[in-house]
Amino acid sequence: MFKKVCMMLTVLSLPLVAGVSLEQKIGQMLMVGFHGTTASKNSQICKDIQKYHVGAVILFDYNPVNKSEPKNIASKAQLKKLTAQLQACSSDGKLLIAVDQEGGKVQRLKRKYGFYGKFPKASDVIKMDQSQIRSTYEKMSKELKSVGINYDLAPVVDLDINPKNHVIHGLGRSFGKDPKTVAKYASTFIDAMHSHGVLTSIKHFPGHGSSVGDTHKGFVDVTHLWKEVELEPYRLLKDKADTVMVAHVFNKKLDPKYPASLSYKTITKKLRWDLGYHGVVITDDLQMGAISKKYGLRNTLKLAINAGDDILLIGNQLDPRKVKSTKTLVETIKSLVRSGEVKEKSIITAYQRIQKLKQKL
């Protein structure tokens, strides 16, 4: 019987892979950031989406190269046009177009661009009643959808357990200390996003709430601060989460060698095997200091894929001198497969998970 089920599953998954080149499968694993408020057919980003079948893009408002110009988001009308152009470049019309839109300090759709821009931070949301919370997040979801954004890199399910934490506690990004409470609010957020067809990502696995440092800037070791309870929201939401974003925190208790985002022990063993999560795993931005200061690009991509990450996020946001082209990313991963440092099976598995996720759109 088991053999029969396995054969059925294999047959079911074949159309997802048949006739798709290795290059296209790799392209689907990439989420890239780019500079530009339009994406005409001749733009580099459009050419990359067409040629490499790029699976996802991430949009930012802040432009690190020219602070007086927007990077991707300038107004409602402009953003709606940009996302339509990007979608037209994709062969399946299911390009994942992502932003970080949590509320509070972290909202890319700002008031100055004509958006609502006043969504509350998580620590204020918990003071509201359930129906208010639902309508707040449904309003957020509707606004995202109205401008063609179909993937929100939120909600945060980090526990608010360290008052010295600047990144989570200091910005009021957590729904609280209790995992059940956090999972309940996150669940409301996810439902609200789904009401307008927007996908979500719970973050930052395996827990960033206990940390003191900022992984944007460099290496953050949470070994002596991290608590097992930080895994609980992921266990509670394992069947509901569209995707899980993995942090770059280093935790000797989970892996004595690698930070979470590059760790097979943390992603495959802990998240997938122990906690039972089987959906898409996305990395936090692989250009953040915690990774880029310690690992070169080739090694980063190799470790991330071998760890079990499905979507590799390259934001091209943090350092204008270190923009990575899609071509470079695809060619690097292809050479890792050719050399045997990355198994093609890992690419196929990631590709299949991503296609399953896109079926929700």
Handedness of CA 238, 239, 241, 242 (dihedral sign): positive
Largest Cα–Cα separation, the chain: 64
Residue with tokens 């991503």: 354
Cα(162)–Cα(165) distance, rounded to whole angstroms? Answer: 5
Label each residue of 104-152 as H, E or C: CCEECCCHHHCCCCCCCCHHHHCCCCHHHHHHHHHHHHHHHHHCCCCEE
| CA separation for the pair 311, 95 (Å, rounded) | 13
The reported pLDDT for the residue numbered 217 is: 84
Q: Exposure of 194 by Cβ count < 10 A (0-12 exposed, 13-18 middle, 19+ buried)?
A: middle
| Number of helices followed by number of strands (H, E) in the chain | 13, 10
> Left if phi > 0, otherwise alpha if psi is -120 to 50, otherwise beta: which for 209?
alpha
Across 329-361, b (16+ Cβ under 10 Å) vs e yields bbebbeebbeeebbeeebbbbbbbbbbebbeee
Active site residues: 216, 284
For 177-212, the pLDDT digits (tens) are 999 999 999 999 999 999 999 999 999 999 999 999
Give the number of other Cβ atoms within 10 Å of residue 155's Cβ: 31
Minimal CA–CA distance to 86: which of 31, 140, 139, 138?
A: 31
**Residue owning tokens 């309870």:** 229
The pLDDT assigned to 144 comes to 98
The pLDDT value recorded for residue 214 is: 83
Top-level CATH class of 22-358? Answer: alpha beta
317 in Cβ contact with 67 (< 8 Å)? no
- Alpha-carbon span 357 to 361, nearest angstrom: 8
Residue segments in the chain with a per-residue pLDDT below the cut of 50 = 1-15
Predicted local distance difference test score (pLDDT) of residue 11: 38
pLDDT at residue number 260: 98
What is the structure's pLDDT at 16? 67
Instruction: Count other Cβ atoms within 10 Å, centred on residue 1.
Output: 5
Coil vs helix vs strand at 181: helix
